[in-house]
Amino acid sequence: MDENRFERLASLRRFSIGVLIFVAAVILLGIGLLAGVELLKSLRAEAYREPLERAKEYFDWNQYPEAIREADVVLAKASDQQDAARIKIISLIRTGRGREAIEVIRARPGRLRRLPNFQLFLALAYEADNQTAKAVELLDSVRDNWRFQRWPAYQILAEYLIQDMMRKLRTSAPSNPLLKKVITRWRWSDMFAANIFSYFVDDFKQYERGIWLAKHLNARNPSAVNANNLAWILLKADRPELREPRRALELARQTVSESHGGEASFLDTLALACFVNGDPQSAVKYEQQAADLDGGKADYYRRQLKKFQEALSAASSPASRPATRTEP
């Protein structure tokens, strides 16, 4: 009796150990597979890292043909790379190639096409292709779906685009209480306003609309954030007639003074304002301060700093003479 009980206990023990070994092996295998996948992703990302960085840099400086070229290099290596797709789509839109932008968007996987930012990209592409009525129809059909409701900033952008596009079509658009609330009550949502502005300028390159929005916000609520946004877009607009470099320099100096030089983004704007107004030495100084304050955007600040240092070296060269830079 005792021998049978002992044998059963020994069998149970062996079985338990076997189960534990099996579970451990499955876990180790899973970890190995995950590590392998991450390694493959890393190697894949490394393969397109440099062209993606170049695409971002060209895009930041509104050099759209070059940005498209580098984005194509990335997409040839990784067709699902969203940053490269965004850069290519918006660059096509800004160069009046709306039909090509529509084709690029439609070639994206369905799950990506349904994202709010890609729906907004598609509407802007329709507008660039002289299909403004179709753009309004698209925005009206998606602005209240659950995806847009999860990102209120995108929902407000959709509302604004609908009203602005309908104004251009000389048709009336119903006043939207959400848009009116955001336009008229910025004090409760200063950073939210900055978030919307960032989407307009950084993601969508809607400079004309962004300037209107920035001026409106700064007039309604003259805060350092709104003044900095206005200065930035007056420097970065991709059409010369939209830029106001001297006013931007005044606004940038004001925001840095109000923040006592403690906000990296304000210093970055002031550096760009100095650069555009022909003072690369001050640009280098303020960009270095921005880089020292904010390590999170170190790559971007280093790229800016390098440009300003190169301009300063060229201006200091005996063979050169100082020149005012007008292109951001």
**pLDDT at residue 82, as a whole number:** 87
CA 171, 155, 205, 122 torsion: positive or negative?
negative
What is residue 188's predicted lDDT score, i.e. its pLDDT?
A: 41
pLDDT at 73: 94
> Alpha-carbon Rg of the chain, whole angstroms?
26
pLDDT for residue 209: 86
Task: List the Cα angle 37/38/39 in 5-degree steps.
Answer: 90
Alpha helices in 107-223, H assignment, sequence order = 110-113, 116-128, 132-142, 146-150, 152-168, 177-184, 190-198, 207-220
* Predicted pLDDT at 69: 95
Residue that has been written with the tokens 């809607």 in this structure: 206
Q: What is the pLDDT of residue 187?
A: 45
Instruction: State the residue for tokens 């070229």.
Output: 69
Cα distance between residue 198 and residue 176, in whole Å: 21
How far apart CA 147 and CA 207 sit, in angstroms, is 25
Query: What DSSP state is assigned to residue 307?
Result: H
Q: What is the pLDDT of residue 180?
A: 53
With 0-12 / 13-18 / 19 or more C-beta atoms within 10 angstroms meaning exposed / middle / buried, residue 175 is exposed
pLDDT in 10s for each residue of the chain, 328 residues: 556 666 666 677 777 777 788 888 888 887 877 777 666 656 666 778 899 989 998 998 889 999 999 999 999 988 888 899 999 999 999 999 999 999 999 988 777 788 888 899 999 999 999 999 999 899 888 887 888 878 777 887 888 888 888 877 776 555 555 555 545 544 445 566 667 777 788 888 989 888 888 887 788 778 888 899 999 999 999 889 999 999 999 999 999 999 999 999 999 999 999 999 999 999 999 999 999 987 677 788 888 898 899 888 887 765 544 444 445 5
Q: How far apart, in whole angstroms, are the C-alpha atoms of residue 109 and residue 94?
A: 23
Quick one: pLDDT at residue 186? 41
Note whether 235 and 248 are within 8 A (CB). Answer: yes
Distance CA 250, CA 136 (A): 38
pLDDT attached to residue 146: 81
Architecture of domain 202-316: Alpha Horseshoe (1.25)
Q: What is the pLDDT of residues 223-252, one digit of tens each?
A: 888 899 999 999 999 889 999 999 999 999
Q: What pTM did the predictor assign?
A: 0.71
pLDDT of residue 173: 52
Q: For the segment 13-49, what is each residue's pLDDT rounded down to a tens digit? A: 777 777 788 888 888 887 877 777 666 656 666 778 8
